[in-house]
């Protein structure tokens, strides 16, 4: 196991803060959006859409509406200079419609866990 450098530690803490702001229990969409660099974007690969500026906050709000108890478990971090890869799971109960760019998924009232990989540059 290698020791993290200061920049790697800083980047990990930034990503942890970002996801904390998207949690159901601590959601703050404006602060979430403010953590993105000018020109930065959120790419929802599953939805096939990139979000820029204040629209980045839609990703937090849409998932919070569909999964009001959403929790993201950050499992592993990998670093390559300023690139951060995170293995995570998204966990919650599907209690509201999930409005994706291509279609709307009606609520299912089921607990869901989805594995995901996120990268940040």
Give per-residue pLDDT as tens, 11-48: 999 999 999 999 999 999 999 999 999 999 999 887 88
Tokens of 39: 């020109």
The whole-number pLDDT of residue 20 equals 96
pLDDT value of position 81: 83
Contact call for residues 60 and 37 (beta carbons, < 8 A): no
pTM, to two decimals: 0.88
Cβ-in-10-Å burial (0-12, 13-18, 19+) of 89 comes to middle
pLDDT tens track for 87-110 = 999 999 999 999 988 889 999 999
The pLDDT assigned to 1 comes to 55
Report d(CA 53, CA 78) in Å as an integer. Answer: 26
Sheet (strand 111-120) strand order: 71-80, 83-93, 111-120
pLDDT of residue 44: 86
Under 8 Å between Cβ of 118 and 85: yes
């Amino acid at each position: 196991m290698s020791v993290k450098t200061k920049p790697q530690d800083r980047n990990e803490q930034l990503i942890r803060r970002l996801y904390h702001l998207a949690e159901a229990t601590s959601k703050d969409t404006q602060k979430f959006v403010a953590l993105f660099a000018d020109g930065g974007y959120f790419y929802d690969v599953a939805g096939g859409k990139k979000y820029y500026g204040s629209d980045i906050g839609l990703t937090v709000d849409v998932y919070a509406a569909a999964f009001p108890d959403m929790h993201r478990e950050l499992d592993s971090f990998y670093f390559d200079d300023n690139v951060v890869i995170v293995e995570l799971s998204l966990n919650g109960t599907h209690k509201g419609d999930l409005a994706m760019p291509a279609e709307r998924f009606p609520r299912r009232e089921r607990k869901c866990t989805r594995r995901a990989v996120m990268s940040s540059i």
